[in-house]
Chains A and B, each alone.
Chain A
Amino acid sequence: MNDIAFETPWALAGLLLMVLPLLKTGAAPSAYSWLAIVPADGLSVLLALFLRITGMSVVAALSLGLSGVYLKEQKVERIGRGAHIVLLLDRSRSMDDTFAGRAPDGSNESKSATARRLLTEFVEKRKHDRIGVTAFSTSPLFVMPLTENKQAVQAAIAATSSPALAYTNISKGLSLAASFFEQQPLTGSRILLLISDGAAAIDPDSEQALRQLIKQQQIRLYWVFLRTENSPGIFDVPEDSRNDNSDAMPERYLHLFFKSLNVPYQAYEAENPDAVQKAIADIDTLENRPLHYFERIAKQDLSGLCYRWAVILLLLLLALKSCEVRR
């Protein structure tokens, strides 16, 4: 019964009118000389009772209908294939350049536009996933919590069309994204999908905290690195060992950090939109584990049902009424 609710509960006051059929029969009184000589008749008593109950039921059905009774939104647990995915989007200024590192000129789209287009397709395909969105630049931005509402996720992805912000501060973004999985049921896989065109050194303080958080939450990491032409890649090893440090090669060091976490981790280095598409398609096929999810069943209006019963019972009353005999 907890699932029943009313649009206009005060209209339930109409239920009080149910006493009326108890007080009156709804038939015109006929004069009779002496009531005591009317023989007791079981059928008549039953019929009178039936009339009263029918009258009461019509009043009740109409009142319930007027109060807008409905069945609340239900959640049905189902098992499907999918994952909990938190998108971590780079909003640093360089994302608004093309893969060639120039301002987009019409023939080439910017890295953020590529990411936006492909993520929109990706989200559309992933039917049962719960997806959350975070972004980061100099500071982390909480955008959208983990949700089944695909329209909301699309709205968040679409909003990255506004100009990008400032620098790349990846560690704060990572901790915000990882924190999304706290207090979430552990079902299906938990994926952190980082889409960035650069990296930054992670300071030792947050490194320890991140290490713990990502392990604890059993997160699977995917990094789609949008590599700009002539910039250092994640798999590059510097020729000069003096350059082999996290400040000179932050991408390589972030990759090493992710590898050292001992969680499932996959890096994709994409130098053009097609490579990004391949990476995302890859994730789409890989991440299809059994997942408990809740399907929402929208609230159901019951007042129509009430009105249908009201009209059926009312027709019955009318039929009985037309059988009434008067002298």
Chain B
Amino acid sequence: MYSRQIFKDYRFWCLAAAVIALALLFIHPSEQRKNPVYDLTFVIDITRSMNVEDYQANDQAVSRLEFVKQSLRELLLKLPCESKVGLGVFTERRSTVLFKPVEVCSGFAEIDAAIAALDWRMAWAADSRIAKGLLNTLEMRRDCGSRLVFMTDGQEAPPVNPRYRSDFSGVKDSLKGLLVGVGGMEPAPIPKYNSRGEREGFYKADDVPHRSTFGLSNLNPEEIEGYNARNAPFGSEAAAGNEHLSYLHEAYLQQLSAESGLHYHRLTGSQPLVEALQAADMAEQRQVETDVRWRAALAALVLLVAVFV
């Protein structure tokens, strides 16, 4: 029989194996795999100090807020599908949530537009009490299940009186999160805007409070020049300081993050931020259907190539 000879040809067997590989492809097209999925709520500091232009992007000085926005918009592209992103803003001594977490792949355009629209003019009140705002945010978001990413430059305005520091012991470790420090380490002037939103130079030393005058001073009364318990509990000297210049208060933020049980990261771009999110264990491992057809298809292709070589 001539035709039996065909079984001695390896090409026949290669073709048969390729058919079997493709059959397997249709029988077993996907696998359950564990993939990292994020559920994040970003709370962005929109106080005036975030207008300081001490970041560089495309060889141009950009403000901290602008850089935060750029980094977040890039970050959106890097998050795996099924991740969710919510957005909130912080000013005064509290934060508010603009929208609860939305799935990033189907809601990309909407989240992106909302991030692009963030503006310091959204602030409903002045002041920048970061520790209080962080505490308020942690208390508010304790039970929501979404992880917190709080982005700020750490500039308290007015400065905190060490006597009245916020107490984080009640919320410590209640929420997994990342405290992101934004800004440069060199003191830089804060741009000033008028009521129509036009730029008008910078804040000067006389424009900003250099100490908090609430309650009692943290110093001993003997040490205070011109102390009078009723009329001048903070002394008669005018407070002088550099509060009109702003820099990233990294040590302070690290202290806050330690007290509240958050991880700390300094913002330098979207890629380091993704790595920080991974390092801070912010992802949840979820079973995701993964396409594995490529394995069988590749095997079939190799077998087919063997036929023609």
Contact = CB atoms under 8 A, between A and B. Distances in A.
Interface of A: 11, 14, 17, 20-21, 23-24, 26-28, 55, 58-59, 62-63, 65-66, 68, 91, 133, 135, 137-145, 147, 149, 151-152, 155-156, 158-159, 162-163, 165-167, 303-304, 307, 310-311, 314-315, 317-318, 321-322, 324-327
B195 to A, nearest CB: 10
B2 A62 contact: no
Contacts of B119: 142
Most buried by A among B2, B9, B122: B122
Contacts of A21: 308
B22 A311 contact: yes
B23 interface: yes
Nearest to A310: B22
13 contacts: A24-B309, A28-B11, A58-B304, A151-B102, A151-B106, A152-B111, A156-B98, A165-B124, A167-B124, A307-B293, A307-B297, A321-B15, A322-B3
Contact of A310 (B96, B111, B300): B300
Contacts of B9: 28, 321, 324, 326
Nearest to B119: A142
A23 B307 CA distance: 12
Given A55-B308, A91-B96, A325-B3, A311 B107 contact: no
A166 B125 contact: yes
B61 interface: no
Interface string B7-33: 011011001101100110110010000
A147 B19 contact: no
Interface in B241-280: none
A16 to B, nearest CB: 11
Contacts of A23: 308
B301 A17 contact: yes
B101 A155 contact: yes
B114 A144 contact: yes
Given A14-B301, A155-B101, A314 B15 contact: yes
Given A156-B98, A318-B16, A303 B109 contact: no
Interface in B103-147: 103, 106-107, 109-111, 113-114, 117-119, 121-125, 140
B113 to A, nearest CB: 4
Contacts of A55: 304, 307-308
Contacts of A66: 294, 297-298, 301
Q: Sorted from nearest, which 8 A-B pairs have the closest CB atoms?
A: A142-B117, A156-B99, A20-B308, A326-B5, A138-B124, A145-B113, A155-B100, A311-B22
Given A59-B304, A166-B124, A141 B98 contact: yes
A165 B99 CA distance: 15
Interface string B82-106: 0000101100001011111111001
Contact of B293 (A137, A152, A303): A303
Contacts of A151: 102-103, 106-107
Contacts of B22: 307, 310-311, 314
A28 B3 CA distance: 14
Nearest to B29: A304
A163 B29 CA distance: 48
Contacts of B238: none
B122 A142 contact: yes
A136 B303 CA distance: 65
Nearest to B120: A139
A74 B114 CA distance: 24
Given A141-B89, A143-B114, A149-B109, 17 more contacts: A58-B304, A62-B297, A65-B297, A66-B298, A140-B121, A141-B96, A144-B114, A151-B106, A151-B107, A159-B98, A304-B29, A310-B22, A314-B300, A315-B19, A318-B15, A321-B15, A322-B3
A303 B30 CA distance: 13
Contacts of A324: 6, 9, 12
Contacts of A68: 291, 294
A138 B94 CA distance: 14
Contact of B308 (A26, A28, A304, A311): A26
Given A26-B308, A149-B107, A139 B15 contact: no
Contacts of B107: 149, 151-152
Contacts of A140: 121-122
A325 B9 CA distance: 11
Nearest to B12: A321
Given A28-B11, A55-B304, A317-B15, A139 B101 contact: no
B97 A162 contact: yes
Contact of B110 (A91, A145, A310, A311): A145
